[in-house]
């Protein structure tokens, strides 16, 4: 197995409700977040960072952020790696700053964050527009991103934001896009950006902007059906999903991890090692320099 230099966990759109409240579609979103984090802690994966791509809460109230924090904080303390949070259209800047980012200023300015993990740079942008569901990046956000990217990071940059800079394939998503994605593309072109991580559409999708891969992992709270049956305008299904992003020296791969799945088989470590050894033995050696 190739060893990734970095493994990031991405969790999107948890939409945490008030204590004791389920989402209007019936999902207990705090339970879904607990499940996601439990699956992460029970796995063999030790991430370098955990990234949340927005819509952390349903209504952006301090109580909802406190509930979010009560679920996430103990896990962050045990894993002892950076946790980063992007603002979504359901979030509130002042409340999120106050409860999650340790900034009690009450500022409603867009949030711009840079997190460094060894040689990897993670830039978290704020694409939210207060009171609106569509997204945009202010000239100041783009200026700050441009200034940050002017100096390459040793292992490149991961850009994180809520609204994906991609075309939309469903009518509702098309009505709440990131405006002027070309403006972001112009800043990313030729930079050391290795992947853009977004959320918002509640679907697992991949695309590209200015040659940089763009990925949305799907959501925790609800999933939009990209093949809705005829006669149904839009459909939400329960398919909570998170993602792992593995960055290698020469490549990056994003992998969706469905949480609510039926188990088909478990293989113990020895059986797995035997299978790997047999298949490895059949694999021709890579040419030198290949």
> Interface with Fe ion by CB under 5 A: which residues?
13, 55
Query: Which residues, other chains included, contact 252 with Cβ-Cβ below 8 Å and sequence gap of 6+?
Result: 194, 195, 213, 245, 246
CA distance 80 to 270: 30
Q: Which residue of the chain is nearest Fe ion when measured via CB?
A: 55
Classify 280 in phi/psi space as left (phi over 0), alpha (psi -120 to 50) or beta: alpha
Q: How far is the CB of 222 from Fe ion (least distance, A)?
A: 8
**Coil vs helix vs strand at 70:** helix
Of 76 and 236, the one with the shorter C-beta distance to Fe ion is 236
Helix/strand/coil percent split, the chain, to 5: 25, 25, 50
Nearer to Fe ion, 13 or 155 (CB): 13
Shortest separation between residue 236's beta carbon and Fe ion, angstroms: 11
Shorter beta-carbon distance to Fe ion: residue 110 or 135? 135
Both tokens assigned to 89: 């259209």
Between 81 and 236, CB nearer to Fe ion: 236
CB neighbourhood size of 104 (10 A): 10
Nearer to Fe ion, 7 or 23 (CB): 23
Query: What is the full DSSP assignment across 134-184?
Result: SB---HHHHHHHHHHHTS--TT-EEEE-SS-SS--SSHHHHHS-BTTHHHH
CB of residue 200 to Fe ion, shortest distance in Å = 6
Q: Exposed (0-12), middle (13-18) or buried (19+): which is 82, by Cβ within 10 Å?
A: middle
Nearer to Fe ion, 128 or 191 (CB): 128
Q: In whole angstroms, how close is the CB of 191 to Fe ion at the nearest point?
A: 27
The distance of closest approach from Cβ of residue 20 to Fe ion in the complex, given in angstroms and rounded to an integer, is: 21
In whole angstroms, the minimum distance from the beta carbon of 221 to Fe ion comes to 7
């Amino acid at each position: 197995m190739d060893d990734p230099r970095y493994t990031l966990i991405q969790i999107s759109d948890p939409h945490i409700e008030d204590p004791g409240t389920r989402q209007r579609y019936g999902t207990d979103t705090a339970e879904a977040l607990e499940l996601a984090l439990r699956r992460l802690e029970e796995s063999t994966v030790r991430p370098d960072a955990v990234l949340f791509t927005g819509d952390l809460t349903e209504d952006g109230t301090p109580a909802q952020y406190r509930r979010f924090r009560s679920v996430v904080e103990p896990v962050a303390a045990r894993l002892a790696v950076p946790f980063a949070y992007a603002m979504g259209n359901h979030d509130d800047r002042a409340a999120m700053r106050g409860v999650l980012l340790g900034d009690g200023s009450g500022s409603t300015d867009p949030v711009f964050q840079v997190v460094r993990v060894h040689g990897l740079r993670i830039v978290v942008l704020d694409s939210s527009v207060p009171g609106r569901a569509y997204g945009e990046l202010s000239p100041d956000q783009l200026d700050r991103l441009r200034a940050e990217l002017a100096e390459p990071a040793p292992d490149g940059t991961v850009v994180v934001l809520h609204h994906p800079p991609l075309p939309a394939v469903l009518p509702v998503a098309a009505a709440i896009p990131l405006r002027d994605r070309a403006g972001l593309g112009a800043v990313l072109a030729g930079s050391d950006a290795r992947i853009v991580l977004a959320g918002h559409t509640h679907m697992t999708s991949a695309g590209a902007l200015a040659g940089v891969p763009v990925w949305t992992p799907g959501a925790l709270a609800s999933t939009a059906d990209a093949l809705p049956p005829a006669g149904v305008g839009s459909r939400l299904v329960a398919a909570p999903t998170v993602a792992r992003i593995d960055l290698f020296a020469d490549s990056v791969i994003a992998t969706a991890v469905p949480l609510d799945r039926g188990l088909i088989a478990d293989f113990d470590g020895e059986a797995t090692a035997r299978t790997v050894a047999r298949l490895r033995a059949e694999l021709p050696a890579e040419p030198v320099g290949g």
